[in-house]
Amino acid sequence: MTEFITKQFANTKNDILSGITVALALVPEAVAFSFVADIDPLIGLYGAFMMGLITAIFGGRPGMISGATGAMAVVMVNLVKEGHQYGIAHNAGELGIQFLFVALLFTGLIQILAGVFKMGKFVRLIPHPVMMGFVNGLAIVIFVSQLNMFKTSILNTETGLMEKHWLSGSPLYLMIGLVALTMAIMYLLPKFTKKIPEALAAIIVVILIVVIANLDVSTVGSFIQSKGDKALSARGGFLDLLPSFQFELFTNSALWTKEAFMIIIKYAPILAAIGLIESLMTLNLIDDLTETRGNGNRECIAQGSANIVNGLFGGMGGCAMIGQSIINIKSGGRGRLSGIAAAVGLLIFILFAPKYIEQVPIAALVGVMFMVVIGTFAWSSLRILNKIPITDALIIVLVSAITVWKDLAVAVIAGIIISALIFAWENAKRIRARKTIREDGTKVYEIWGPLFFGSITDFNNKFDVNNDPEFIEIDFIESKIADHSAISALRSLVNKYNAVGKKVRLKHLSEECKYLLNKRNPKFAEIIIDAVDDPRYHVLENPEAFNE
């Protein structure tokens, strides 16, 4: 017992210190992603805390950090916008945030079901080109979303409405200068020391410059107030800064109409898919870095539970964070305590330092996000485009484009489907048949390559039913019959030979192939040659349950 306890707490110091480091870096990113989603920064901070705490305790990958992410934020912004428009159209007030919270309930439920039905393993089916296209598209979407921060709201005297216009003159130059400074500090600081989070250091420097020089720039506080919300430091004190149960989700009938439900349910599967894909890819990455193995299905359940809690208590929701997880691992965090320390540290910042969060210039957050974009984009994909198969290069470009055009989930699913079709096409061309004639006149076809639905046409073209001799032997020792389409093609070929009075013998078939061939026509047992070294592959899980 003593040895067990010692092992569990051996890395306590490193876990706590790395967790605090991650918490410092989580603050600016949570606020920045809130702006991406066009929601109150406090909601983003809530989401990062609740997501981080629940997944740290119950998740399938100790040391992995979860929180508010850009991948989900770029989808949430459209959901919030549609919810806002629905509320105005139905005289129901501002419903955008409530739409998000309800969507998170369904998102979490879908993710829990994915874990219960053990779908976490399917992340292994994501090809590397799809993953590269995924991160490239995500980087582009985040970059484009930050360009809105270079706009300002100006009142149109004719319409009486606020309109967005690009900054110009001194405000634009000041914005660009502060963004560039933030990026320069984040780039250069790690070259001197890695003990200080570069995002936090950059933001502190920019805050000091703005305060000392008394620069007139947009800050988190002014941005919140421009949206009509109260400042973080003026929300009623300690208790008002704690997450509260969202009773109105169940009392507001406008949220549960058929029209509202159709909007919400359209986004929930997308958010669930994006969250699971990014989380499971991050889990695999941390597995490689630590040479350990996480539990993908357990992570799905934890992520889903955290998103449901976020929906119930007014958080942004989210998933695993690739950048923060790597920071945690490289800082020495290995256990669940590191994630717990990060979440609790973030909550402390929310409760006791809200006025400092408000002073963060928007330009500093934009700089942080631009560095996230640079770190997220797979620059190696540009160098290898002319060195990899053209189909892989096409998938990278296509997935990136669909991500920008539609969303991340659609892009990844499309990439997987296209990769699967290309794989099937390439393997369909690998079917071969070596033909020999024995002394007794028997013609032998030695089949090479997989026989499945895609290669059936080429397989049939290998045989000359009318001109072949009376006795035919087909040997499958170097082939694999992969599906029922192949079984049907083989049965059809034998029937063609029998129809013209020729005899066929089949050799080296697995037991399942023999069973399926004999099921409809017991006479097939007479043409199958039993061989000692018959292969042992499976065509289906339970052949006895197969019913044609």
* pLDDT at res. 540: 52
Please report where in the chains the tokens 């669909």 appear, as a residue.
Answer: 402
Task: Check whether 548 has a pLDDT greater than 50.
Answer: no
**CA–CA distance from 243 to each of 221, 239, 349 (Å)?**
19, 9, 14
Task: Check whether 537 has a pLDDT greater than 60.
Answer: no
Reference 215, options 181, 175, 167; nearest CA is: 175
Fold of 429-545: Transcription Regulator spoIIAA (3.30.750)
User: Do the Cβ atoms of 63 and 325 come closer than 8 Å?
Assistant: yes
What tens digit of pLDDT does each residue of 508-529 get?
888 778 777 777 677 777 787 7
User: Do the Cβ atoms of 30 and 66 come closer than 8 Å?
Assistant: no
Reference 166, options 177, 155, 179, 150; nearest CA is: 150
SS3 content of the chain, % helix, strand, coil (to 5): 65, 10, 25
Mean pLDDT (the chain) is 84
User: Do the Cβ atoms of 305 and 108 come closer than 8 Å?
Assistant: yes
Reference 82, options 340, 285, 260, 225; nearest CA is: 260
Task: Check whether 211 has a pLDDT greater than 60.
Answer: yes
User: Do the Cβ atoms of 56 and 15 come closer than 8 Å?
Assistant: no
The mean pLDDT value for 387-405 works out to: 89
User: Do the Cβ atoms of 203 and 28 come closer than 8 Å?
Assistant: yes
Rounded distance between C-alpha atoms, residue 77 and residue 2, angstroms: 51
Q: Where are the domains of the chain?
A: 2-227+236-419, 429-545
The phi-psi region of residue 314 (left if phi > 0; otherwise alpha if psi is between -120 and 50; otherwise beta) is left
Task: Check whether 330 has a pLDDT greater than 80.
Answer: no
The mean pLDDT value for 227-254 works out to: 75
* pLDDT at res. 163: 75
Least confident of 140-144, 249-253, 345-349: 140-144
* pLDDT at res. 194: 73
Q: What are phi and psi of 524, to 5 degrees?
A: -65, -25
Task: Check whether 378 has a pLDDT greater than 60.
Answer: yes
DSSP string, 242-276: S----THHHH-GGGGSHHHHHHHHHHHHHHHHHHH
* pLDDT at res. 75: 87
* pLDDT at res. 176: 95
Least confident of 18-32, 40-54, 363-377, 428-442: 18-32
Distance of CA 40 to the CA centre of its chain: 24
Of residues 103 and 513, more confidence is placed in: 103
Of residues 71 and 179, more confidence is placed in: 179
* pLDDT at res. 530: 62
* pLDDT at res. 89: 83
pLDDT tier at 546, thresholds 50, 70, 90:
very low
What tens digit of pLDDT does each residue of 270-321 get?
899 889 988 987 888 788 777 788 898 999 999 999 999 999 999 999 999 8
* pLDDT at res. 228: 61
Question: Tokens representing 273?
Answer: 């898919």
The mean pLDDT value for 141-146 works out to: 82
* pLDDT at res. 1: 43
* pLDDT at res. 547: 47
Reference 485, options 532, 460, 451; nearest CA is: 451
The mean pLDDT value for 84-90 works out to: 86
* pLDDT at res. 342: 92
What tens digit of pLDDT does each residue of 410-433 get?
888 889 899 988 888 888 888 899
* pLDDT at res. 54: 96
The mean pLDDT value for 245-264 works out to: 89
* pLDDT at res. 10: 57
The two beta strands, 66-67 and 151-155, are unpaired
Of residues 141 and 306, more confidence is placed in: 306
